[in-house]
Amino acid sequence: MASNWSKKPFSRESAQSRDGSQRQSSRNAGSRQPSRNASAAGRDFVPHLKAPRTDFPLFNGKRVTPSLAGLDKLLHYYGVELQPETLQQIWEFHQLLRANNDDQDLTRLNAFETMVERHYADCTLINAYVPKWPARMIDVGSGAGFPGIPLKIVNHSIRLTLCEPRPNRINFLNMVIEKMGLKGIDVFGHKVTSRSMTIPVDGVISRAFELMEKTLPRIANSLKVGGRVFFMKGPAVADELKTFHPEDFGYKFVGKHFYTIPNSTQERALIILERIE
Protein backbone atom coordinates (compact mmCIF):
# COMPACT_ATOMS: atom_id res chain seq x y z
CA MET A 1 0.00 0.00 0.00
CA ALA A 2 1.22 3.51 -0.67
CA SER A 3 2.82 5.27 2.24
CA ASN A 4 4.76 8.48 2.78
CA TRP A 5 7.25 6.43 4.80
CA SER A 6 8.78 5.29 1.52
CA LYS A 7 9.43 8.84 0.34
CA LYS A 8 13.06 9.50 -0.59
CA PRO A 9 15.32 11.52 1.74
CA PHE A 10 15.43 15.29 1.31
CA SER A 11 18.95 15.18 -0.17
CA ARG A 12 21.27 12.45 -1.29
CA GLU A 13 24.21 14.46 0.02
CA SER A 14 22.70 14.65 3.48
CA ALA A 15 23.00 10.89 3.93
CA GLN A 16 26.68 10.70 3.02
CA SER A 17 29.43 10.39 5.57
CA ARG A 18 32.44 12.71 5.78
CA ASP A 19 34.55 10.62 3.40
CA GLY A 20 31.77 10.72 0.80
CA SER A 21 30.60 7.15 1.26
CA GLN A 22 26.99 6.47 0.32
CA ARG A 23 24.15 5.66 2.69
CA GLN A 24 24.05 2.38 4.51
CA SER A 25 22.24 -0.64 3.12
CA SER A 26 18.46 -0.69 3.26
CA ARG A 27 18.66 -2.55 6.54
CA ASN A 28 20.02 0.54 8.31
CA ALA A 29 19.32 3.40 5.92
CA GLY A 30 16.92 6.26 6.50
CA SER A 31 14.59 4.86 3.88
CA ARG A 32 13.84 1.85 6.07
CA GLN A 33 10.15 1.43 6.72
CA PRO A 34 9.11 0.80 10.33
CA SER A 35 7.62 -2.56 11.13
CA ARG A 36 3.96 -2.92 12.01
CA ASN A 37 5.18 -4.84 15.06
CA ALA A 38 7.63 -2.20 16.26
CA SER A 39 6.14 -1.94 19.74
CA ALA A 40 8.36 -3.15 22.56
CA ALA A 41 8.16 -3.81 26.28
CA GLY A 42 7.08 -0.71 28.18
CA ARG A 43 5.87 0.97 24.98
CA ASP A 44 2.35 1.77 23.84
CA PHE A 45 3.06 2.79 20.24
CA VAL A 46 2.36 0.89 17.04
CA PRO A 47 3.28 2.32 13.59
CA HIS A 48 0.08 2.37 11.58
CA LEU A 49 0.82 2.32 7.84
CA LYS A 50 -2.00 2.66 5.37
CA ALA A 51 -3.06 4.42 2.18
CA PRO A 52 -4.38 8.02 2.48
CA ARG A 53 -8.00 8.29 3.59
CA THR A 54 -9.92 10.45 1.14
CA ASP A 55 -12.97 10.34 3.40
CA PHE A 56 -11.17 11.96 6.31
CA PRO A 57 -13.16 14.92 7.75
CA LEU A 58 -10.24 17.31 7.23
CA PHE A 59 -10.65 16.91 3.48
CA ASN A 60 -14.41 17.39 3.50
CA GLY A 61 -14.06 21.03 4.44
CA LYS A 62 -14.75 20.26 8.10
CA ARG A 63 -12.49 20.84 11.08
CA VAL A 64 -11.89 18.04 13.55
CA THR A 65 -13.51 18.82 16.88
CA PRO A 66 -10.92 18.86 19.70
CA SER A 67 -11.82 15.76 21.68
CA LEU A 68 -10.39 12.42 22.71
CA ALA A 69 -12.08 10.80 19.70
CA GLY A 70 -10.79 13.54 17.40
CA LEU A 71 -7.26 13.05 18.73
CA ASP A 72 -7.50 9.32 18.07
CA LYS A 73 -8.70 9.87 14.49
CA LEU A 74 -5.98 12.39 13.73
CA LEU A 75 -3.20 10.29 15.21
CA HIS A 76 -4.35 7.29 13.15
CA TYR A 77 -4.39 9.49 10.08
CA TYR A 78 -0.86 10.69 10.76
CA GLY A 79 0.43 7.17 11.34
CA VAL A 80 0.16 6.61 15.09
CA GLU A 81 -1.92 4.04 16.97
CA LEU A 82 -1.95 4.26 20.77
CA GLN A 83 -3.42 2.15 23.54
CA PRO A 84 -6.54 3.75 25.10
CA GLU A 85 -4.83 4.68 28.38
CA THR A 86 -1.89 6.23 26.55
CA LEU A 87 -4.20 8.16 24.23
CA GLN A 88 -6.02 9.46 27.31
CA GLN A 89 -2.73 10.78 28.72
CA ILE A 90 -1.83 12.55 25.47
CA TRP A 91 -5.30 14.13 25.50
CA GLU A 92 -4.84 15.24 29.10
CA PHE A 93 -1.49 16.79 28.20
CA HIS A 94 -3.09 18.58 25.25
CA GLN A 95 -5.82 20.03 27.45
CA LEU A 96 -3.23 21.37 29.91
CA LEU A 97 -1.23 22.85 27.05
CA ARG A 98 -4.24 24.64 25.57
CA ALA A 99 -5.50 25.84 28.94
CA ASN A 100 -2.17 27.49 29.76
CA ASN A 101 -0.99 28.59 26.33
CA ASP A 102 -2.56 32.05 26.23
CA ASP A 103 -1.02 33.13 29.52
CA GLN A 104 2.35 31.41 29.17
CA ASP A 105 2.99 31.50 25.40
CA LEU A 106 3.93 27.82 25.23
CA THR A 107 3.34 27.11 21.54
CA ARG A 108 2.51 29.14 18.44
CA LEU A 109 0.42 26.34 16.99
CA ASN A 110 -3.30 26.79 17.58
CA ALA A 111 -5.31 24.62 15.20
CA PHE A 112 -6.08 21.22 16.70
CA GLU A 113 -5.14 19.37 13.50
CA THR A 114 -1.80 21.17 13.31
CA MET A 115 -0.97 20.52 16.95
CA VAL A 116 -1.65 16.80 16.54
CA GLU A 117 0.38 16.63 13.32
CA ARG A 118 3.41 18.68 14.37
CA HIS A 119 3.52 17.94 18.09
CA TYR A 120 1.95 14.62 19.08
CA ALA A 121 2.40 12.61 15.88
CA ASP A 122 5.87 14.05 15.31
CA CYS A 123 7.00 13.13 18.82
CA THR A 124 5.64 9.58 18.74
CA LEU A 125 6.50 8.46 15.21
CA ILE A 126 10.21 8.43 16.09
CA ASN A 127 9.58 5.35 18.22
CA ALA A 128 9.38 3.33 15.01
CA TYR A 129 13.10 3.97 14.43
CA VAL A 130 14.33 3.28 17.96
CA PRO A 131 13.72 -0.33 19.09
CA LYS A 132 14.85 0.48 22.63
CA TRP A 133 15.45 3.86 24.22
CA PRO A 134 18.30 4.44 26.69
CA ALA A 135 17.23 3.98 30.31
CA ARG A 136 18.35 7.43 31.54
CA MET A 137 17.82 10.43 29.28
CA ILE A 138 17.66 14.21 29.11
CA ASP A 139 15.60 16.31 26.71
CA VAL A 140 17.64 19.41 25.80
CA GLY A 141 15.53 22.45 24.93
CA SER A 142 12.27 20.82 25.99
CA GLY A 143 10.18 23.98 25.69
CA ALA A 144 6.56 23.05 26.41
CA GLY A 145 7.55 19.39 26.80
CA PHE A 146 8.34 18.30 23.26
CA PRO A 147 9.43 15.67 22.60
CA GLY A 148 9.99 14.68 26.24
CA ILE A 149 6.48 14.37 27.63
CA PRO A 150 4.95 12.40 24.72
CA LEU A 151 8.10 10.25 24.67
CA LYS A 152 7.71 9.51 28.38
CA ILE A 153 3.98 8.81 28.08
CA VAL A 154 4.61 6.22 25.37
CA ASN A 155 7.77 4.74 26.93
CA HIS A 156 7.05 4.22 30.62
CA SER A 157 10.43 2.83 31.62
CA ILE A 158 12.54 5.83 30.56
CA ARG A 159 13.95 7.98 33.38
CA LEU A 160 13.78 11.44 31.82
CA THR A 161 14.86 14.96 32.73
CA LEU A 162 13.34 17.87 30.81
CA CYS A 163 15.89 20.68 30.37
CA GLU A 164 14.31 24.11 29.99
CA PRO A 165 15.58 27.44 31.42
CA ARG A 166 12.59 29.73 30.80
CA PRO A 167 10.54 30.28 33.99
CA ASN A 168 7.07 30.09 32.42
CA ARG A 169 7.90 26.79 30.78
CA ILE A 170 9.54 25.43 33.94
CA ASN A 171 6.34 26.16 35.85
CA PHE A 172 4.22 24.57 33.14
CA LEU A 173 6.33 21.40 32.94
CA ASN A 174 6.30 20.93 36.71
CA MET A 175 2.54 21.48 36.75
CA VAL A 176 2.02 18.88 34.00
CA ILE A 177 4.14 16.32 35.84
CA GLU A 178 2.22 16.89 39.07
CA LYS A 179 -1.30 17.01 37.63
CA MET A 180 -0.78 14.00 35.38
CA GLY A 181 0.97 12.02 38.10
CA LEU A 182 3.91 11.19 35.84
CA LYS A 183 6.68 9.18 37.48
CA GLY A 184 10.34 8.97 36.55
CA ILE A 185 10.44 12.46 35.05
CA ASP A 186 11.65 15.81 36.38
CA VAL A 187 12.71 19.28 35.24
CA PHE A 188 16.20 20.81 35.08
CA GLY A 189 15.35 24.51 35.14
CA HIS A 190 18.66 25.90 33.94
CA LYS A 191 20.51 26.49 30.70
CA VAL A 192 22.35 23.32 29.68
CA THR A 193 26.11 23.86 29.60
CA SER A 194 29.08 21.58 30.13
CA ARG A 195 29.33 23.00 33.67
CA SER A 196 25.67 22.97 34.65
CA MET A 197 24.69 19.61 33.18
CA THR A 198 26.60 16.84 34.94
CA ILE A 199 23.80 14.28 35.37
CA PRO A 200 25.16 10.94 34.09
CA VAL A 201 22.87 9.80 31.27
CA ASP A 202 22.76 7.12 28.59
CA GLY A 203 20.85 9.18 26.06
CA VAL A 204 20.05 12.73 24.97
CA ILE A 205 17.19 13.88 22.74
CA SER A 206 16.60 17.31 21.23
CA ARG A 207 13.98 18.54 18.78
CA ALA A 208 14.54 21.49 16.44
CA PHE A 209 16.62 23.26 19.09
CA GLU A 210 19.94 24.30 17.54
CA LEU A 211 22.77 23.01 15.35
CA MET A 212 24.12 19.64 16.42
CA GLU A 213 27.62 21.08 16.77
CA LYS A 214 26.31 23.46 19.42
CA THR A 215 24.48 20.83 21.45
CA LEU A 216 27.29 18.29 21.73
CA PRO A 217 29.62 20.50 23.83
CA ARG A 218 26.74 21.20 26.22
CA ILE A 219 26.43 17.52 27.13
CA ALA A 220 30.17 16.79 27.30
CA ASN A 221 30.06 16.12 31.05
CA SER A 222 26.74 14.30 31.07
CA LEU A 223 26.47 11.71 28.30
CA LYS A 224 28.44 8.54 28.94
CA VAL A 225 30.78 6.98 26.38
CA GLY A 226 28.60 4.58 24.40
CA GLY A 227 25.56 6.78 25.01
CA ARG A 228 23.45 8.06 22.14
CA VAL A 229 22.12 11.43 21.01
CA PHE A 230 18.84 11.64 19.07
CA PHE A 231 18.40 14.81 17.01
CA MET A 232 14.91 15.43 15.63
CA LYS A 233 15.28 17.68 12.61
CA GLY A 234 13.43 19.17 9.66
CA PRO A 235 14.52 19.34 6.00
CA ALA A 236 17.18 21.98 6.72
CA VAL A 237 19.30 19.19 8.23
CA ALA A 238 20.39 18.31 4.68
CA ASP A 239 22.55 21.45 4.60
CA GLU A 240 23.67 21.02 8.21
CA LEU A 241 24.97 17.52 7.51
CA LYS A 242 27.19 18.78 4.69
CA THR A 243 29.52 20.48 7.16
CA PHE A 244 28.89 18.50 10.35
CA HIS A 245 31.54 15.92 11.28
CA PRO A 246 30.65 14.05 14.50
CA GLU A 247 34.16 12.61 14.90
CA ASP A 248 35.38 16.15 15.62
CA PHE A 249 33.36 15.93 18.86
CA GLY A 250 34.08 12.30 19.73
CA TYR A 251 30.94 10.83 18.13
CA LYS A 252 29.95 8.66 15.19
CA PHE A 253 26.80 8.31 13.12
CA VAL A 254 24.73 5.23 13.93
CA GLY A 255 21.48 6.21 12.21
CA LYS A 256 20.12 8.70 9.67
CA HIS A 257 16.39 8.33 9.12
CA PHE A 258 14.57 10.57 6.66
CA TYR A 259 10.79 10.38 6.40
CA THR A 260 7.58 12.30 5.96
CA ILE A 261 4.76 12.25 8.50
CA PRO A 262 2.14 10.01 6.82
CA ASN A 263 -0.60 11.87 4.94
CA SER A 264 1.35 15.09 5.45
CA THR A 265 3.92 17.30 3.76
CA GLN A 266 6.00 17.58 6.93
CA GLU A 267 9.49 16.23 6.19
CA ARG A 268 11.44 14.96 9.17
CA ALA A 269 14.81 13.45 10.02
CA LEU A 270 16.08 11.53 13.03
CA ILE A 271 19.87 11.70 13.29
CA ILE A 272 21.40 9.32 15.84
CA LEU A 273 24.96 9.65 17.15
CA GLU A 274 26.95 7.48 19.54
CA ARG A 275 29.65 8.85 21.80
CA ILE A 276 32.95 7.04 21.20
CA GLU A 277 35.34 9.02 23.39
Mean pLDDT confidence for 113-135: 96
Query: What is the structure's pLDDT at 105?
Result: 79
Residue 20 main-chain phi, psi, to 5 deg: 90, 5
Closest CA to 148 of 176, 117, 181, 114: 176
Element (H, E) at 173: helix 167-180
pTM of the predicted model as reported, rounded to 2 decimal places: 0.81
- Residue 164 belongs to a domain with what CATH number? 3.40.50.150
Closest CA to 216 of 257, 247, 185: 247
Closest CA to 94 of 179, 204, 166, 190: 179
User: Higher confidence at residue 65 or residue 4?
Assistant: 65
14-48 tens-digit pLDDT: 333 333 333 333 333 333 333 333 444 456 655 44
Burial degree of 143 (CB within 10 A; 0-12, 13-18, 19+): buried
Distance between CA 95 and CA 76 in Å, rounded?
A: 19
Amino acid letter for position 25 = S
E strands, the chain, are: 45-47, 80-82, 136-140, 159-163, 185-188, 201-207, 223-233, 251-260, 267-275
Q: Which of 33-47, 162-176, 189-203, 249-263 has the lowest mean pLDDT?
A: 33-47
Distance between CA 59 and CA 57 in Å, rounded?
A: 5
| pLDDT beyond 70 at 54 | no
Query: What is the structure's pLDDT at 235?
Result: 94
**Angle between helix 84-104 and helix 167-180 axes, rounded to 10 deg:** 150
User: Higher confidence at residue 33 or residue 185?
Assistant: 185
| pLDDT beyond 80 at 91 | yes
Q: Distance between alpha carbon 34 and the CA centroid of its chain, in Å?
A: 15
Query: What is the structure's pLDDT at 44?
Result: 62
| pLDDT beyond 90 at 232 | yes
- Confidence category of residue 103, pLDDT binned at 50, 70, 90: confident
**Total structural domains in the chain?**
1
| pLDDT beyond 50 at 88 | yes
Query: What is the structure's pLDDT at 102?
Result: 84
The pLDDT mean for the chain works out to: 84
Distance between CA 197 and CA 218 in Å, rounded?
A: 7
Domain that holds residue 105: 4-275
Closest CA to 50 of 75, 31, 68: 75
Query: What is the structure's pLDDT at 48?
Result: 46
| pLDDT beyond 90 at 50 | no
Closest CA to 103 of 168, 180, 165, 176: 168
Distance between CA 116 and CA 112 in Å, rounded?
A: 6
Q: Report whether 38 contacts 46 (CB < 8 A).
A: yes
- Confidence category of residue 108, pLDDT binned at 50, 70, 90: confident
Helix/strand/coil (H/E/C) assignment for every residue in 207-247: ECCCCHHHHHHHCCCCEEEEEEEEEEECCCHHHHHHHCCHH
What is residue 76's three-state secondary structure?
A: helix
Mean pLDDT confidence for 61-77: 90
